[in-house]
Structure 1
Amino acid sequence: MQESVENLNFGKKRRALSSACLFFHGIGLMGISVHYILFPSVSLEYIAEAWDISLMRESSSIYILARNLVMTSAVYLGIWGATCSLLATLASSRTKKFLACGNLLAGVLVSIFSVFHPEAFAAARCRDSVDQALDCLRTAFIWHGPLLLLDLIAIIFAEAGPKLIRISDRSSILLNAQPGDEHIHTTGGQYTIKKINSHASLIQQDVVSGTGEDTKGD
């Protein structure tokens, strides 16, 4: 298929959107983390209110432990959020897609386990009936929904755009290549690979002297 070099930046905006979604996913996690660390009691009350449960008195050992668990999980959450935001600006498209898939899987599993885990369900009412279980599931996905949406967009557009643009019989442009991708498209002949910019490489098939024939590349 013949395509022009003008398509070189095709998909760039969508890949930028994917990176932005992963970046703001990390920012969101860091924001939640900071709030949970600074205000563990208030955060615990928000969680209890969302699941329609009443907390025990603040002097009880269970309440103290729950508050500590909120703070402890928030520390890990914040560090992972910072990691996501950093990798959103530095990592390759494939790595960003992998991170977004991991975040999406984690959010879905937490939502499901909050309702259907045999011991660690969020509220006793989730076991009362099917309707209550579905209502609990809705609550879980409301909490995680915004981040799940960001993850989904990040996955869809992480590697947007064409990979290989054919210019002529012996020349192609490879876009957004990962390490080693050039060799996938250069089997069966001799090639010259030239870096055009940070996201494109020119692949030219060399003429084999003495044979009178061009090698077949792609």
Structure 2
Amino acid sequence: MSIRFDGKVAIVTGAGGGLGRSHALELARRGAKVVVNDLGGDRTGAGGSSEAANKVVEEIKALGGEAIANGSSVTDDEGVANMVKQTMDQWGRIDILINNAGILRDKSFSKMEINDFQLVVDVHLMGTVKPTKAVWEIMKEQNYGRIVVTASSTGLYGNFGQTNYGAAKLAVVGFINTLKLEGQKNNIHCNALAPVAYTRMTSDLMPPEAEEMLTP
């Protein structure tokens, strides 16, 4: 395991399950202290519970790692500020941000309400912009930062019933492509992932036999 993050602090949004949980566990295995952020709502964004985030924190602690849970919504300015404050109060630095939180409101464009479009863009795009903005100056000051955004093949190629999701997922690619230029002089490296996995979010978009082939 050549890549280590000992002494580094990571925030992973949407880390209560699926890909976010995988990121959080792997960062912890490699020595990072991890903030497990998850609102705990269903995949449409409704509801909220700290159960999922707490469970991942317990998994990390069982591995001998350090982690704390955070239940802020990535779209809420006050919540994002609290998440950053909680992290800084706990560990005094923020080195890694993985913007992974997301929701789905899938419908054909004819049937989609504007509210369904707005909400998905708010969570995926602004829910990436707001945490990134909140940690940007901290990372510049440290002269170290690593930021990842979760894009999607839907954004790159389209997928029936996902105009809102596709628009938001390609938007984060444009956002991070510009940030990578602005961050270079301060050793802030920015990347986009466009993963495909069988998760709670995609369980009814893929056949069950895809589950074992496409684990997070």
* TM-score class, shorter: under 0.3
Larger Rg: 1
| Higher RCO (CA-CA < 8 Å; seq separation 6+) | 1
Q: Calculate the TM-score normalised by the size of structure 1.
A: 0.27
| Structure in which a larger fraction of residues adopt strand | 2
Q: Calculate the TM-score normalised by the size of structure 2.
A: 0.28
| Structure in which a larger fraction of residues adopt helix | 1
